[in-house]
Amino acid sequence: MGAVFKREFRAFFTSPVGYVVLAALGFFAGLFFYAANILGLSSDLSPVFSSMFTFILMILPLVTMRLLSDEKRQKTDQALLTSPVSLTGIVLGKYFAALLVYSLFLLEMIVFAMIIAFQVTPDWTIFLGNCIGILLIGGFIISIGILISSLTESQLIAAIGTLAISFVLLLMDGIAYQFSNYKILTTIVNFLSISSRYSNFTSGVIAYDDIIYFVSMQALILFLTVRVLDRKRWG
């Protein structure tokens, strides 16, 4: 896992992808911080976090699109799959590399919190909740991205597929509303909804069931990715 993680993480910064993603996230976060906190004279960073939500959904597919699809297209998966590493190690290595690149963006949020801390004491629990929430939601999208990327050789299809699924998850609440006549459907859709769970974090509520939901969903999706890779051996 270590070798794959190291290579992947470096690959983000030997190509422009890592810089572009971080610059884009940083730019939007800065914009929201300026509008909400500087102009709005507020010490609460939650609006910045919740506004970033949509942008994260749009940008993360670009981080994950290459991860497995490109290996297949360049046939470098032959090196990975014929080396004495487990498939789980390969998938986790890629997952954590992408997660680390993404979480670098949190450094900027910490800088913002520091700026606020010069003037007033920010509510650190809410800030912590926001950070955990945004990490979990990011990890969730990254795991979906890796799964989609394992299904195709095309980076474009991987990106668009991940984007589409992310947005369906985002719109779950609206979909649940349409099904309000059917109790079971509403329950299921509400369970899958990520935006209501994420908004818990932005309001400073760190609930165990939300954390367990995000972590277990990621574990499930990464497990499915391993199965997809394993299927190749059997196909």
Partner 1 sequence: MIEVQNLTKRYGGHVAVNNISFKVEEGEILGFLGPNGAGKTTTMNILTGYISASSGVAKIKDIDVLEQPNLAKMNIGYLPEQPPLYLDMTVREYLDFMYDLKKCKLPRREHIAEICKQVKIENVYGRLIKNLSKGYKQRVGFAQALIGNPPVLILDEPTVGLDPKQIIEIRSLIKSLGRQHTVILSSHILQEIEAVCDRIIIINKGVIVADDKTSVLATKYSSDRRLLVRVAGNHDEIFNLLKRVPNVVNVTSFGEKEPGIFEYALEPAEGCDIRRDVSTRIAARNWAIMGMKSMEMTLEDVFIALTREQYVPAGNKKGGR
Residues that bind partner 1 (CB under 8 A): 2-4, 6-7, 10-11, 14-15, 74-86, 232-235
Q: Which is nearer to partner 1, 86 or 187 (CB)?
A: 86
Q: Which is nearer to partner 1, 64 or 193 (CB)?
A: 64
Q: Which is nearer to partner 1, 14 or 121 (CB)?
A: 14
**Shortest Å, Cβ 156 to partner 1:** 19
Comparing CA positions, the residue from 158, 196, 49 lying closest to residue 109 is: 49
**Shortest Å, Cβ 141 to partner 1:** 24
**Shortest Å, Cβ 79 to partner 1:** 4
**Shortest Å, Cβ 98 to partner 1:** 16
The tally of CA atoms less than 13 A away on the side-chain side of residue 229 is 27
Q: Which is nearer to partner 1, 84 or 120 (CB)?
A: 84
Q: DSSP 3-state assignment of 16?
A: coil
Residue 169 CA, distance from chain mean position: 12
